[in-house]
């Protein structure tokens, strides 16, 4: 186990009706003029926007709005948000939505304290150590952005998808009401679960020895996903299922299971390259790629880890041939995603076979990716071919 | 799952050598005149005190000390601490030790802001909402006090052992260096592990349905204890074992596995009554009592939970007779503690059989205890008799 520092400043208000605290909490952080950020019209149509707005008004807090933030949020939305912050002298941000809206709001929060184009923060040309205070109202269980410092934003002009990890953009508080995810359609629910599970695997597969406790915690989150994803898809208003998935999404990427470990993130880099070229939903891309990364990574050195995954998470019965048990775990991963209605092959989501070498090149643009397995161009291409 | 609020303000610096941050961190919270609280001479003999002192001096921070804080810390130590705080105009507290020292320091932190006898805070006659800032340097993996709001203190005059749960006494930061536990003797290591596992069970066994994720997280912590306790006892300087146990102790009682659940704590109340009458080490008392509470609580209604505990944690093989599997899990619990060198019977730790009815009466002094099983006087006496 490596040394680590735990810092979890974000407060979470979890459960049905927790939105009622939003006004007093914004006040607590000195918020008087709020910018509410959101993406799809669903937020307005289903009344979540109005509920937030009325709670703010009740406390004498004024607000303006920035809607239409895209999945894979764009730097243009961040720029527009920063413009609104300056125009209306905004002192607090609320992101109502999933990871994309939250990530854009984090960009706005940081950009508000930067003199220049906020894209500089993502390319590394600029830096800030202070940001506008930010809160989130989560409507999709997937990215974990509601309790971490990550923001991933795309620039269509430069064809780049880049991330910042600033402690100062961690939300002050997040409201996690599982009923807000009742209307998430089956495919998005499934893609969200694939995203959560992928986050866990990127941290579970680590070159760091001696992290037994973290690994068992990771398996706990995976088991929750496996148990509740099929239920949430079949019964979208099953509170227990939605609550367990929402809480799983937060714990999967709030650092809890990463403390004391080097993490991998190789498959994420591959998926980012795929979805940058061919508009593939992030979770769908991960569901396609991860089982093939696993097959690629399974060997004598990694057998213990894959055996643990198979038996502890997928409940594959013990057998003398441990390699066979490990393979069965990977097979069950693939079947699980297929049963959730997710595509299993890159060819199914519009990626042409001829494009694979170019994608592989993009992945390793800045050198090999991953830490559990260091993947060079050849390895990446091999995984892409298996996933095709 | 119930609604909950997550608030984890304590920062944790985990790992070998982390003590180096203590000076700058104390400064960060405005500390200039520190009271260092500790218990046993081990803290001085092994040089931990001197390391803390030198790091403070280096940053120009002055300090005085309060040593000799007892296991089951007494209100007299808290009073003495409050006196020292006032005499030396102390603005920051550092607890160097295990749960007892930390609990006493929390009492001092709160007492410093109370005009009157600090014991009033424990009896409920008085209240505070502010406390002196506090940090901990942990030297024993057991109570989890390093990241929570609990303080349990004894009053020998009134023969009471009472608790406060003030958010304001949560440590600002805690330093968790597993090497500081290398010298903890086998019996104390074992008792600490029994304490950790008991904390988990008090939260695992809950009347709240639908807390799948929390339950799997709880099982993760139990598995870490089972795996590493025997290793830490056999090889006291095994870093991996000490690190996993230390991290397990913190996660077992920092609220993580309690969010969204009603918790039980019945067995803890029974143990407090036992150790209040007969000076039994808390963890030892719990190791004796918990398997018998489990046998008492096992029935058709609780079978699913005990079956999960047996198969997921104790790795009892699946079998058609689920009740038999559950019983085997409880049997393994008892054997596990015995193999760690812990007593298995109340008669072994100086509790006379004739005292059991009086102990049972004390336990239910304010009404039945526990929530998973509500225990009245008769039930408590039955558990005590089985444990005798």
A96: part of which helix (H) or strand (E)? strand A92-97
User: Is residue A6 included in any domain, yes or no?
Assistant: no
pLDDT value at residue A279: 80
Measured from the Cβ of residue B335, the count of other Cβ atoms closer than 10 Å reads: 13
Query: Residues 39..58 of A with a Cβ closer than 8 Å to B: which?
Result: none
Q: Quick check: B112 and B83 in contact, CB under 8 A? A: no
How far is it, in rounded angstroms, from Cα B189 to Cα B183?
A: 9
Residue B72's CATH number: 3.40.50.1970
User: Is residue A4 included in any domain, yes or no?
Assistant: no
pLDDT value at residue A159: 78
How far is it, in rounded angstroms, from Cα B132 to Cα A232?
A: 46
Half-sphere exposure of B54 (CA within 13 A, CB side): 8
Mean per-residue pLDDT, B86-96: 98
Mean per-residue pLDDT, A26-41: 97
pLDDT value at residue A354: 97
User: Is residue B368 included in any domain, yes or no?
Assistant: yes
> Is the complex ipTM higher than 0.95?
yes
Q: What is the CA radius of gyration of chain A?
A: 21
Task: Convert the pLDDT of each residue in A240-272 to its tens digit.
Answer: 999 999 999 999 999 999 999 999 999 999 999
User: Is residue B266 included in any domain, yes or no?
Assistant: yes
Residues B275 and B345 grouped into a single domain = yes
Mean per-residue pLDDT, B250-256: 97
What's the mean pLDDT when you consider all of chain A?
A: 96
How far is it, in rounded angstroms, from Cα B194 to Cα B198?
A: 6
Q: Give the 3-state secondary structure of residue A387.
A: helix
pLDDT value at residue B294: 98
Residues A143 and A241 grouped into a single domain = no
Instruction: Place A58 in a pLDDT band, splitting at 50, 70 and 90.
Output: very high
Q: What is the CA radius of gyration of chain B?
A: 21
Instruction: Place B276 in a pLDDT band, splitting at 50, 70 and 90.
Output: confident
Mind telling me how many Å the CA of B387 is from chain A's nearest CA? 31
Mind telling me how many Å the CA of A6 is from chain B's nearest CA? 5
List the single residue in B with minimal CA-CA distance to A13. Answer: B5
pTM for the whole thing?
Answer: 0.97
Asked if residue A140 has pLDDT above 90, the reply is yes
Asked if residue A371 has pLDDT above 90, the reply is yes
Instruction: Place B248 in a pLDDT band, splitting at 50, 70 and 90.
Output: very high
Instruction: Place B156 in a pLDDT band, splitting at 50, 70 and 90.
Output: confident
Nearest to A252 by CA among A200, A308, A305: A200
Instruction: Place A293 in a pLDDT band, splitting at 50, 70 and 90.
Output: very high
pLDDT value at residue B240: 98
Nearest to A147 by CA among B248, B275, B6: B6
Asked if residue A278 has pLDDT above 90, the reply is no
Q: Give the 3-state secondary structure of residue A20.
A: helix
| Residue the block writes with tokens 């390895």 | A379
Residues A347 and A242 grouped into a single domain = yes
How far is it, in rounded angstroms, from Cα B232 to Cα B234?
A: 6
Among A180, A202, A236, where does a domain finish?
A180
pLDDT value at residue A161: 85
Mean per-residue pLDDT, A120-146: 97
Tell whether A64 lies on the interface with B, counting CB pairs under 8 A: no
What residues of A are in contact with residue B13 (Cβ under 8 Å)?
3, 5
What's the mean pLDDT when you consider all of chain B?
A: 97
A386: part of which helix (H) or strand (E)? helix A377-387
The answer to whether the Cβ–Cβ distance between B4 and A15 falls below 8 Å is: yes
User: For chain A, what percent of residues have pLDDT higher than 70?
Assistant: 100
| Count of structural domains, chain B | 2
Among A155, A180, A205, where does a domain finish?
A180
Instruction: Place A336 in a pLDDT band, splitting at 50, 70 and 90.
Output: very high
Percent helix, strand and coil across chain A, each to the nearest 5: 55, 15, 35
pLDDT value at residue A160: 82
What residues of A are in contact with residue B141 (Cβ under 8 Å)?
none
How far is it, in rounded angstroms, from Cα A262 to Cα A283?
A: 23
Residues B260 and B362 grouped into a single domain = yes
Residues A200 and A157 grouped into a single domain = no
Residues A203 and A318 grouped into a single domain = yes
Mean per-residue pLDDT, A361-365: 94
Residues B168 and B215 grouped into a single domain = no
pLDDT value at residue B278: 86
User: Is residue B190 included in any domain, yes or no?
Assistant: yes
Residues 6+ apart with CB under 8 A from B232: B181, B189, B193, B238, B241, B242, B245
- Dihedral, CA atoms, B295, B296, B299, B301, nearest 10 degrees? -120
Measured from the Cβ of residue A22, the count of other Cβ atoms closer than 10 Å reads: 26
Tell how far CA A219 is from the center of its chain.
18
Residues A56 and A172 grouped into a single domain = yes
Region of A155 on the Ramachandran plot (φ > 0 left; ψ -120 to 50 alpha; else beta): beta
Residues B159 and B205 grouped into a single domain = no
The answer to whether the Cβ–Cβ distance between A240 and B1 falls below 8 Å is: yes
pLDDT value at residue A198: 98
Q: Domain containing B160: what range?
A: 11-180
pLDDT value at residue B13: 98
Tell whether A264 lies on the interface with B, counting CB pairs under 8 A: no
Task: Convert the pLDDT of each residue in B102-121 to its tens digit.
Answer: 999 999 999 999 999 999 99
Tokens of A368: 């090999």
Q: Is B301 exposed, middle or buried (0-12, 13-18, 19+ CB in 10 A)?
A: exposed
Nearest to B110 by CA among B153, B65, B59: B153
Residues A160 and A198 grouped into a single domain = no
Tokens of A379: 């390895």
Task: Convert the pLDDT of each residue in B301-333 to its tens digit.
Answer: 999 999 999 999 999 999 999 999 999 999 999
How far is it, in rounded angstroms, from Cα A276 to Cα A272?
A: 6
Residue A294's CATH number: 1.20.1090.10
Residues A293 and A379 grouped into a single domain = yes
Long-range Cβ contact pairs of B47-51 (< 8 A, separation 24 or more) = B48/B19, B48/B96, B48/B137, B48/B139, B48/B180, B49/B96, B51/B19
User: How does strand A4-14 pair with strand B160-165?
Assistant: unpaired
Instruction: Place A276 in a pLDDT band, splitting at 50, 70 and 90.
Output: confident
Q: Which phi and psi (to 5°) does residue A48 adopt?
A: -65, -40
User: Is residue B1 included in any domain, yes or no?
Assistant: no
Residues A126 and A218 grouped into a single domain = no
List the single residue in B with minimal CA-CA distance to A315. Answer: B312
pLDDT value at residue B111: 98
Tell whether B299 lies on the interface with A, counting CB pairs under 8 A: no
B362: part of which helix (H) or strand (E)? helix B356-363
What residues of B are in contact with residue A227 (Cβ under 8 Å)?
212
How far is it, in rounded angstroms, from Cα A172 to Cα A12?
A: 9
Task: Convert the pLDDT of each residue in B43-53 to its tens digit.
Answer: 999 999 999 99
Asked if residue A232 has pLDDT above 90, the reply is yes
pLDDT value at residue A277: 82
User: Is residue B166 included in any domain, yes or no?
Assistant: yes
Among B127, B162, B180, where does a domain finish?
B180
Asked if residue B95 has pLDDT above 90, the reply is yes
C-alpha distances in angstroms, B81 versus A100, B104, B121? 51, 9, 15
Tell whether A1 lies on the interface with B, counting CB pairs under 8 A: yes
pLDDT value at residue B315: 95
Return the sign of the alpha-carbon dihedral for residues A273, A278, A283, A288. Answer: negative
User: Concatenated DSSP letters for B229-294?
Assistant: HHHHHHSTT-HHHHHHHHHHHHHHTSSTTTTTS----HHHHHHHHHHHHS---HHHHHHHHHHHHH
A286: part of which helix (H) or strand (E)? helix A282-297
Task: Convert the pLDDT of each residue in B23-81 to its tens digit.
Answer: 999 999 999 999 999 998 889 999 999 999 999 999 999 999 999 999 889 999 999 99
User: Is residue B252 included in any domain, yes or no?
Assistant: yes
DSSP state of A179: G
């Amino acid at each position: 186990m490596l040394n680590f520092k735990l810092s979890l400043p974000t407060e979470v208000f979890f459960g049905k009706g927790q939105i009622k605290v939003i006004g007093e909490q914004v006040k607590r952080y000195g918020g008087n003029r709020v910018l509410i950020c959101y993406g799809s019209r669903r937020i307005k149509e289903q009344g979540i926007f109005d509920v937030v707005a009325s709670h703010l008004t009740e406390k004498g807090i004024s607000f303006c709005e920035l809607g239409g933030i895209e999945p894979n949020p764009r730097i243009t939305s961040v720029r527009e948000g920063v413009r609104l912050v300056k125009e209306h002298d905004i002192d607090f941000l609320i992101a109502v939505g999933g990871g994309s809206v939250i990530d854009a709001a984090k960009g706005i929060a940081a950009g508000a304290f930067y003199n220049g184009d906020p894209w500089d923060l993502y390319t590394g040309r600029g830096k800030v150590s202070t940001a506008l205070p930010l809160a989130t109202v989560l409507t999709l269980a997937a990215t974990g952005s509601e309790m971490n410092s990550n923001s991933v934003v795309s620039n269509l002009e430069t064809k780049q998808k880049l991330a910042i990890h600033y402690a100062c953009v961690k939300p002050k508080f997040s409201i996690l009401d599982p009923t807000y995810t009742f209307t998430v359609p089956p495919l998005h629910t499934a893609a969200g679960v694939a995203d959560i599970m992928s986050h866990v695997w990127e941290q579970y597969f680590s070159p760091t020895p001696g992290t037994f406790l973290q690994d068992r915690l990771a398996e706990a989150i995976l088991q929750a996903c496996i148990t509740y994803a099929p239920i949430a898809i079949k019964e979208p208003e099953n509170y227990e299922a939605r609550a367990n998935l929402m809480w799983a999404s937060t714990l999967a990427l709030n650092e809890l299971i990463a403390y004391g470990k080097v993490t991998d993130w190789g498959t994420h880099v591959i998926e980012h390259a795929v979805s940058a070229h061919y508009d593939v939903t992030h979770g769908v891309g991960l569901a396609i790629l991860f089982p093939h990364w696993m097959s690629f990574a399974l060997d004598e050195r990694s057998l213990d880890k894959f055996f643990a995954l198979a038996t502890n998470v997928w409940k594959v019965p013990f057998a003398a041939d441990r390699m066979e048990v490990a393979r069965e775990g990977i097979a069950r991963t693939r079947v699980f995603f297929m049963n959730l209605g997710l595509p299993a092959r890159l060819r199914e989501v519009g990626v042409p076979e001829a494009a694979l070498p170019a994608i592989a090149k993009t992945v390793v643009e800045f050198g090999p990716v991953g830490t559990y397995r260091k993947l060079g161009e050849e390895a990446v291409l091999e995984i892409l071919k298996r996933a095709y």
